[in-house]
Structure 1
Amino acid sequence: MATHSTCATPIKGTHMRIIELDACGVPITGTGGQVSVTKGFVQVQMEPQYEDGVEFFERTADGTPCVNQKDDPTLKRLNLTSQFCEINTSTAALMISARELTTGTPTTGTGFAVVEGNPERRYSLEVWQEVAGAGACDASGQQRYIYNAWPNVGATQLGSYTIENGRSTLETTSETRAPATQWLDLVGGDYLPAGYELELDEHWFWNVTTTEPPTIACDPTTLAA
C-alpha cells in the first residue's frame, strides 16, 4: 500500500503530440509514420462511455421485493473531442483519415482532401499541462507537468467547421481503444514512472512528471525504433 501521494493542480494545455499507429495500435517507426507536436489546440474534452450494469428485480406474489440487485457499470471506451485553432495539414490528414495535398521538392503539405468511407487511421494522443500554484516545482526545483496520454485513438470523425467573420476552428471526435504493448517502450516510457508495466486494458494515463514535453514544430518528424 502506498505511504505517500502526489498532489497537483492541473491548469491549461501547453503541448499536444500525435504519433501515427498501425491498425494494431503499434507506433509506426521510421519514414512510414509521423510525429506532430503542436500548441495550436483550443481544448481536448474527454467523455467516458459506460455500459449500464444489468439490473435484477423481482417481486413475490404479494408484491414484496424478492430480488433487488444491479451489476456495476462497465467502462467501454473514452470519447475525445479536440478543437484546433491552428491547422497542421499533415496532422489533420492523419487524424481524419484524409489525403494530404502536397507540392514541390522537398514535398510540402498545403492542405487535405476529405473522402467518403470509414476512418481507418490510428494515432496516440498526448497532452501536457502546467501545474498551478505552489506545486509548480518539486522539492529540487524542477518544473512539474501533468502528462495525459491516450495511447490508441481512432474512429475519428469531423466535427463542425464554420467560415464566418471570425476565426475558424477544426473539430474532431474520436474513440479510444486498449493500447499495444509497444506504445510504452516507444512513446510513453519517458513520461510514466520508471519500471511501469503496461496493462492491456488501460485507455488513459494521467501522471505528474518532471520530464519536459517535446519541442513544438510545424514540420512533422519520425519516430525512432
Structure 2
Amino acid sequence: MIKQVRFNIKQRVVDELVHRIESGLLADGHLLPGEDQLAQELGVGHSTLRAALAELERRKYIAKRTEGGAIVTYDGITLDQHNGWTQALASTGARIHTELLRLQAIERPDLAHQFGLSQFITLERRRRRDDGTAISLERSLMPATGGLEGLPRVGLIDDSLTITLAAYGFVGDRGDQWIGAEPLNEEDALLLGRPAGTVFLRALRTTYDRNGRFMELVESWLDPLHFRMYHSFGTPS
C-alpha cells in the first residue's frame, strides 16, 4: 500500500511537469529550477522528485540534468571558468583579444528592490579573434561597495574580473543562469559587427557570495559558431 501511494505521488509530479513543459510554462532549452525549489513547489521529497525526473528523462521530456549548471565550451574545448573567461580562453590556446569598452559607476534605482542597493559598477567587454571577428560581448553589474567602488579608478587585477572580485572578498557561492538563443538588437549588433537580428546565445547569470551578498549580474552574448553549452549528469561508472 505504501509503495502504491509513493507511485501515485511520483506520477502526480510527472504529470504536473509534463503539463508545464507541454503548455510552455517550462520553455524548451531552459534549465529546470533546482531540486530544492521544485520539491518545495510540488510538495514532495527529493527522492520522489528524482524518481519523477528520471521518468521524464526516460520519456525524452528532459534531455539532461545536472546540479552544476551549464559548462561552456569554446570550439569544443571545455572552459574552466574558476578564474574567469579571459584566463579560461587563454588556457585553450585560442588567440582571443579582450577589449574593455566601459568600466564606470552607475545608478540603477530600478534594481534596489531586487538587490538592496542602487549604486553599481558596470563593466562592458568585447572579445575578438585574431582575424578581428568579435565572438562575445559581456556586460557585468557589481555592487559599488566593499572597495569595488574604486574599480573605475584602479582597474581590474590581471584583466580578470573573477580574480578582482575575489581580491575584494567576493567569492561566488550560489546563483542561477538562464541560457537561450536571441536576436541581436541594433546596439549589440553594431558592437559585434553583425547585422541586427543575428541570433546569438544569450546567458544571464546572477551570482551571490558565501555571505549571501549580491556580487554580480552578467549578461553575455556568445557567437554560436564557437560557443556551446555542455551538461554532464549522473555518476561515472
TM exceeds 0.5? no
Q: TM-score range by the shorter chain?
A: under 0.3
Q: Which has the higher contact order (CA 8 A, sep 6+)?
A: 1
TM-score between the two structures when normalised by the length of structure 2: 0.24
Q: Which structure has greater strand proportion? A: 1
Q: TM-score, normalised by structure 1?
A: 0.25
Which structure has more helix as a fraction of its residues?
2
